[in-house]
Amino acid sequence: MSKGLIAVIVVVLILGFVGCGKYNGLVQKDEVVKESWAGVESQYQRRADLIPNLVNTVKGAADFEKSTLTAVIEARSKATQTTINADQLTPENIAKFQAAQDQLSGSLSRLLVSVEQYPQLKANQNFLELQAQLEGTENRITVERGKFNNVVKDYNQEVRTFPTNLFAGVFGFSQKGYFTAAPGSEKAPTVQF
């Protein structure tokens, strides 16, 4: 064998080993992203599961605004229909998912604000427990979204860093989307007395 052929074989072997290592590293990071996504979905599902009980408790108030309840029910339906497979966490898909969840959050906020006008609901133990569970779930959602964004950042950095970016493109690994703040959330609400 000639020295040139041996050199080519050595370079190919080195590239093969490096490629295998980079591929395995990307697979591991991709699995961490999928695991984190499952945590996000789990908390959103918990919230969706609490809503029917909340709506039924509020329905008990005879003159409660039906349009508010309808908006919550419709937003829940839309949010539970908007799902993303963990292999399709593109920025566009995350934005669609987040928009549906934000719509549900807004409807729930309006529901909870309108409850203030119903003293019998504010004194109802079932309602108070459901409200506390929803608040806890919202906090869990925030925590899971933060964890998700952290693992996506780690994954995206790896996908974009040289020389991994060369192998990522060949093996079909692309950047994942982040959760972002809802539009308008950068503006503080004005309070007037």
User: How many independent structural domains does the chain possess?
Assistant: 1
Per-residue pLDDT of the chain (193 residues; tens, 9 = 90+): 788 888 888 888 888 888 899 999 999 999 999 999 999 999 999 999 999 988 888 877 656 677 888 888 999 999 999 999 999 999 999 999 999 999 999 999 888 888 878 777 777 888 888 889 999 999 999 999 999 999 999 999 999 999 899 999 899 999 999 998 776 655 554 544 4
Rounded Cα–Cα distance for residues 136 and 142 (Å): 10
Residue 47 confidence (pLDDT): 94
Position 158 scores a pLDDT of: 95
**pLDDT at residue 5, as a whole number:** 86
Domain enclosing residue 137, as ranges: 21-158
Under DSSP, is residue 64 helix (H, G, I), strand (E, B) or coil? coil
Please report where in the chains the tokens 């961490």 appear, as a residue: 32
Query: What pLDDT score was predicted for residue 122?
Result: 75
What pLDDT is recorded for position 186?
54
What whole-number distance in Å separates Cα of residue 163 and Cα of residue 160? 9
CATH of the domain at 39: 1.20.1440.20
Q: Does 54 reside within a domain?
A: yes
Residue 183 lies in a domain: no
**Burial class for 72, CB neighbours closer than 10 Å (0-12, 13-18, 19+):** buried
